[in-house]
């Protein structure tokens, strides 16, 4: 059959609200034009994130009833540890409540002033956790990864020459580890090839530096490798995932993505001394090493989710349904990041609203418009999230790209929901010349996008915008 169906049927339903434009205008104003500040019940289709938003399976729910809630030595921990160890091969599996807790512990131990942490692209919480220790977070993505129109199959790859130069310049004294984010969320959910992981490992090891994976979306990365990397098509995706982990010396993992759970994560390590120090810190901030900030039932759900996510019917459906959204937008002339990533479709706001300059947050403007049009919540990944003020001159430094991420929660929405999203985006794109930029009225010192307050730019309408395509990258 040509039609790829959702490989599940629905046993429990959760109503969503259909709202009207006038109420959405009130809601957005009260939220200071920040979609993180909008109550979920005011959202019709929530594509803010694919993190912690998955629908769990009947087997995960039944595993939850089997959770052992003992403080120490819980049976659920040992089940989880066995599954995570069989998948990753890491000697030490340290449970945490979510990915950033693993980052906080890891960089609390290996970071610090003067340290440099290179990556293909750090996700925002990773960067913040590195920088919080006084270390520098470096993004060394290949050039293709920064070009929204490039159809390179592995746009998440790290630039190996830049990595080599970084390691030569700083050495193992200053570079505690090299990180690869698979898939590369900040760069559009693009995969890293096995070849690139292998070469990054060799480069890092040559300088005596370990390689870590930010493994949140390891299954999607492994499936991309299966589909796109020469010689990988006939391998079970589980084998590819295991090989990815086998090339690394450790990982941080937010199981809220490819763990198919609503909460959970872990830190995987091979270094015994680092693991021992990590467990000490874990006890301080998360909990005892056999639960680490989670309930026994959460560990059960995570163990089950880590197995389910490697089901190839599931992964095929996941990729086909995400591509369905991307293909329809592309066909309608809406500028999107290509090729479509695993967990999300990204609108390229620099071309979508070419008349809005980066300092007026074009991607935020499009995100607000999608909410006003149809109650769709997306997230800005552009200059609101990553833009900076130059310390010396105070000048605005824009992000490399201005993207609106439409993240697809796992196993949650059906094709008709996605058809609704497509229709709304095409409408908004048709009326894009009317969209205005925004000004910041308040910002926090770290991760400002979560709490920033904005207001629509005042003054006369923007000059006529040329057709999309003027800015190509």
**Is residue 33 near ligand F0G by the rule CB under 6 A?**
no
Residues 162 to 191 in contact with ligand F0G, rule: CB under 6 A: 181, 185
Instruction: Name which position in 38, 79, 80, 99 contacts ligand F0G (CB under 6 A).
Output: 99
Q: Is 305 among the residues that bind ligand F0G (CB under 6 A)?
A: no
**Binding test (CB under 6 A) with ligand F0G, winner from 214, 220, 298, 402:** 214
Is 406 a binding residue for ligand F0G by CB under 6 A? The answer is no
* CB of 53 closer than 8 Å to CB of 262: yes
* Interface characters, 281-300, with ligand F0G (x: CB under 6 A): --------------------
What is the three-class DSSP state of 290?
A: coil
Question: What is the DSSP secondary-structure string of 203-270?
Answer: HHHHTT--EEEE-TTHHHHHHHHHHHSTT-TTS-HHHHHHHHHHT-SEEEEETTTTT-SSS-EEEEE-
- Among 57, 2, 7, 3, which Cα is nearest to 315's? 7
Is 245 a residue that touches ligand F0G (CB under 6 A)?
A: no
Pairing status of strand 92-96 against strand 116-119: unpaired
What residues numbered 249-278 form the site for ligand F0G, per CB under 6 A?
254, 256, 265
- State how far the Cα of 42 lies from the Cα of 24, in Å rounded to an integer: 8
Contact status: 221 vs ligand F0G (CB under 6 A): no
- Nearest residue (CB) to ligand F0G, 256 versus 318: 256
Q: Which stretch binds ligand F0G (CB under 6 A): 39-47, 96-104, 132-140, 150-158?
A: 96-104
CB nearer to ligand F0G: pick between 182 and 194: 182
CB of 366 to ligand F0G, least distance (A): 17
Q: Which of residues 115-154 bind ligand F0G (CB under 6 A)?
A: 123, 125-126
Please tell me the distance from the alpha carbon of residue 129 to that of residue 110, in angstroms, as a whole number.
Answer: 11
Residue from 304, 258, 228, 213 nearest 408 by CA = 258
Q: Which residue number, 95 or 437, has a Cβ lying nearer to ligand F0G?
A: 95
Minimum CB distance to ligand F0G smaller for 354 or for 376: 376
Distance CA 110, CA 177 (A): 8
Q: In the beta sheet, which residues pair with residue 381?
A: 403
Which residues of the shown chain bind ligand F0G in the complex (CB under 6 A)?
A: 49, 51, 98-100, 123, 125-126, 181, 185, 214, 216, 254, 256, 265
């Amino acid at each position: 059959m040509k039609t790829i169906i959702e490989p599940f049927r629905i046993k429990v339903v959760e109503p969503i609200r259909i709202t009207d434009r006038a109420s959405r205008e009130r809601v957005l104003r009260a939220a200071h034009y920040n979609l993180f500040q909008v109550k979920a019940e005011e959202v019709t289709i929530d594509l803010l994130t694919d993190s912690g938003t998955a629908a769990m399976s009947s087997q995960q729910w039944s595993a939850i009833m089997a959770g052992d809630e003992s403080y120490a030595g819980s049976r659920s921990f040992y089940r989880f540890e066995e599954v995570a160890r069989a998948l990753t091969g890491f000697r030490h599996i340290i449970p945490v409540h979510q990915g950033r807790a693993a980052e906080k512990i890891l960089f609390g131990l290996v970071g610090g002033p003067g340290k440099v942490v290179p990556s293909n692209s750090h996700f925002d919480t990773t960067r913040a956790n590195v920088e919080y220790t006084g270390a520098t977070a470096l993004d060394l993505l290949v050039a293709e990864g920064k070009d929204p129109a490039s159809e390179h199959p592995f746009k998440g790859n790290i630039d190996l020459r830049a990595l080599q130069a970084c390691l030569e310049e700083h050495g193992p004294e200053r570079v505690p580890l090299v990180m690869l984010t698979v898939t590369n969320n900040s760069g559009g959910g693009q995969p890293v090839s096995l070849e690139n992981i292998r070469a990054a490992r060799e480069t890092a090891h040559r300088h005596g530096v370990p390689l870590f994976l930010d493994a949140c979306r390891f299954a999607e990365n492994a499936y991309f490798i299966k589909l796109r990397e020469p010689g990988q098509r006939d391998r079970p995706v589980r084998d590819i995932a295991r090989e990815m982990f086998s090339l690394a010396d450790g990982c941080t993992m937010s199981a809220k993505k490819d763990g198919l759970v609503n909460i959970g994560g872990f830190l995987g390590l091979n270094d015994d001394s680092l693991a021992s120090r990590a467990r000490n810190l874990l006890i301080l901030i998360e909990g005892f090493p056999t639960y680490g900030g989670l309930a026994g039932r959460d560990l059960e759900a995570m163990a089950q989710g880590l197995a389910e996510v490697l089901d190839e019917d599931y992964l095929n459906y996941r990729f086909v349904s995400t591509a369905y959204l991307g293909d329809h937008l592309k066909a309608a002339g809406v500028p999107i990041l290509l090729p479509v990533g695993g967990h999300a479709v990204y609108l390229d706001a620099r071309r979508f609203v070419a008349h809005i300059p980066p300092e007026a947050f074009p991607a935020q403007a499009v995100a607000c418009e999608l909410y006003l049009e149809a109650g769709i919540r997306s997230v800005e990944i552009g200059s609101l999230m990553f833009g900076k003020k130059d310390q010396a001159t105070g000048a605005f430094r824009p992000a490399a790209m201005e993207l609106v991420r439409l993240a697809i929660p796992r196993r949650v929405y059906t094709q008709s929901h996605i058809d609704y999203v497509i229709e709304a985006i095409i409408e908004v794109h048709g009326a894009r010349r009317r969209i205005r930029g925004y000004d910041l009225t308040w910002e926090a010192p770290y991760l400002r996008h979560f709490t920033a307050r904005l207001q629509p730019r005042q003054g006369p309408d923007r000059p006529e915008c040329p057709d999309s395509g003027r800015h190509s990258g």
